[in-house]
Amino acid sequence: MSTPVSETPLLLRSLTRMLTSARYDQLIATLNRWLAKGPWLKHDQQLRSEPIDVYSQAILGDWRTEIWQKGQRLRTLRRKQLHRLRIRCKRYRYMLAALQSLQVSIPPHDLAFGEIATRAHRALGDLRDLDRLRKTAQRLPPHYRKSKRKLLGQADQAFQRAPEALRRTAPVEPSRRHR
């Protein structure tokens, strides 16, 4: 809905008054302090000062390890944990795409794991959709159990198809900084 021309000067004066207020200045000063001293600056300051190639490999390695470990016990995860795994796979995929668009060199094992993350993300997304359908319908849809088994199998199979090098990834406790 457009604003009548006669009200435009009033809106501009009101906006100008708000932007020049002491309250707005205080908000901007608070935001600047928060950005300058945020908790993200306290962790891994040395790693963050590295070139993007080194930094991205460290982050991707942590994420890959975390996704891989959760994927190995896929059938024991509850609904919320499966959703978190799906989101982590999605984040991994999108980070790979963003790094590729920036022309950052990405190791082949990270690209290979990107395919695994893609398959797992799709299967876990379909599984979540199936569960939401069940909740919406307030009863089991036709062939619900069979479809659920099939989708869990697809996600499980994505992790089973991993190259041997990924299977030998040392179990490392993922750091909390990348979540």
The tens digit of pLDDT for each residue in 20-42 reads 999 999 998 988 888 777 766 66
pTM summary value: 0.63
* Average pLDDT, integer, range 6-10: 79
- Portion of the chain with pLDDT greater than 70, in percent: 80
Residue found by looking up tokens 């020049």 in the block: 20
pLDDT at 152 over 90: no
pLDDT at 62 over 60: yes
pLDDT at 91 over 90: yes
